[in-house]
Amino acid sequence: MSEVPQAIGWGEDGRCVHLLDQTLLPEHERKLEIRDADGMAEAITSLRVRGAPAIGIAGAMGMVLGMERLIEADPDADRATVLEEVSRLWTLLHDTRPTGRNLAWALDRVAHAVRTADEATAEALAGRARAEADAILQEDRQLCDRIGDAGLEVFAGGEPRVLTHCNAGALATGGIGTALAPIYKAHARGQRVQVLACETRPVLQGARLTAWELSRAGVPVTAITDSMAGDAMRRGRVDLVIVGADAVAANGDVVNKIGTYGLAVLANHHGIPFFVAMPYTTVDRSTSSGEEVPIELRSEGELRQLGGREILAADAAAWNPAFDVTPHRSVTAFITDQGVIRPPYGPRLAKLTEGHGPETGRFRGVGGAS
Ligand code: MRU
């Protein structure tokens, strides 16, 4: 398989995390060194690392960095102090981006590993956290791979033309992506897949990131503005749509990048299959429908400026929700690490997440020893 970019990984000395700064792509490929939890929180908030699974990995690593910095400052920190810090770090990192399920899931997983560890010393507890963050990164790689294999089923031969939105590729995960994973797999086995990438206003993840990583891998990709999607479908230029997800509610409602809902309505109208690719880590069993998922509102500035120019009259208001909700009825099927899931989604998504980890939010603000 052609090489895909690595969004996140430990630095060589193990004391920092390397991020490919996604705000600078495609002009500059610059690696950032993140050394503490505050630096990681800033990187997540400002989209230097983005995409739900990658944000989860970043959160887990940020928690490790935070614990290690605590121990450097206070080598004699006792268990209670470490657990108090884990709770503080949970909230600091989680509140950077409230919508994506993977962040809470990953932070819970690290916090749970630390709180239930037998180890008593601060150093050993930090070691436990590091092992868990490593496991999350490794597991995400495998989940992406499995999604890719499962998704081949929806490319029934031929030369499919796939429309995608935002970036749900390698840059958004620890592996080969979610929505882009089947595309990379098909490309690797010699099947020609053509991709239409919606540019994804306001911060252009489709144009800047998806088109970059696919063309770098040799996958034919054409960028369009978001407003061209309907016309492309009407003209018969789209065989199927595949998008990623930031959160999937228990009933199958999908929360994903703003614009996803419109694409689903258009695809449904034109009889084009609408697929959502995601690992089990994106499903939130504690939200019964998408309406319960908090939607991140980002700054007006992302809309007011384009290419360094003011494009909006100063007196005009701007509204900038980062995500929208696509009702489960609009989704043809989910492409998951455990195969393609078709309706009814409730029981099938429950089965997908069965036996997997603690519930979201369990460690928010929970201090003290246990
Ligand atoms: O605001 P972003 O760039 O973090 O939004 C990313 C998306 O909406 C992706 O589609 C989603 O996280 C799935 S990534 C595998």
Is residue 194 within 8 A of residue 220, CB to CB? The reply is yes
Nearest-atom number in ligand 1 for the CA of 323 is 8
Q: Residue 256: pLDDT above 90?
A: yes
Q: Whose CA is nearest to atom 5 of ligand 1?
A: 51
pLDDT tens digits along 60-106: 999 999 999 999 999 999 999 999 999 999 999 999 999 999 999 99
Average pLDDT score over the chain: 95
Alpha carbon distances (Å) from 164 to 28, 206, 256: 24, 8, 12
Instruction: Give the pLDDT confidence score for residue 2 in this predicted structure.
Output: 61
Report the b/e string of 288-311 with b at 16+ CB within 10 A. Answer: eebeebebbebeeebbbeeeeeee
Instruction: Give the pLDDT confidence score for residue 368 in this predicted structure.
Output: 38
Q: Is 164 in the pocket of ligand 1 (CB under 6 A)?
A: no
Q: Is 257 in the pocket of ligand 1 (CB under 6 A)?
A: yes
Query: 3 CA to middle of ligand 1, Å?
Result: 21
pLDDT tens digits along 202-238: 999 999 999 999 999 999 999 999 999 999 999 999 9
Residues near 229 by beta carbon (within 8 Å), at least 6 away in sequence: 163, 196, 198, 238, 262, 263, 266
Q: Residue 34: pLDDT above 70?
A: yes
Question: Catalytic site residue 246?
Answer: yes
pLDDT band (50, 70, 90) for residue 370: very low
pLDDT tens digits along 277-303: 999 999 999 999 999 999 999 999 999
Q: Residue 331: pLDDT above 80?
A: yes
The angle subtended at Cα 294 by Cα 289 and Cα 297, nearest 5°, is 140
The angle subtended at Cα 182 by Cα 202 and Cα 245, nearest 5°, is 40
Query: 120 CA to middle of ligand 1, Å?
Result: 38
Instruction: Give the pLDDT confidence score for residue 367 in this predicted structure.
Output: 42
Q: Which is higher by pLDDT, 366 or 51? A: 51
Mean pLDDT score, 145-159: 93
Report d(CA 132, CA 14) in Å as an integer.
Answer: 15
* The amino acid at 326: T
Q: Tokens 């694409």 correspond to what residue?
A: 263
Q: Whose CA is nearest to atom 10 of ligand 1?
A: 244
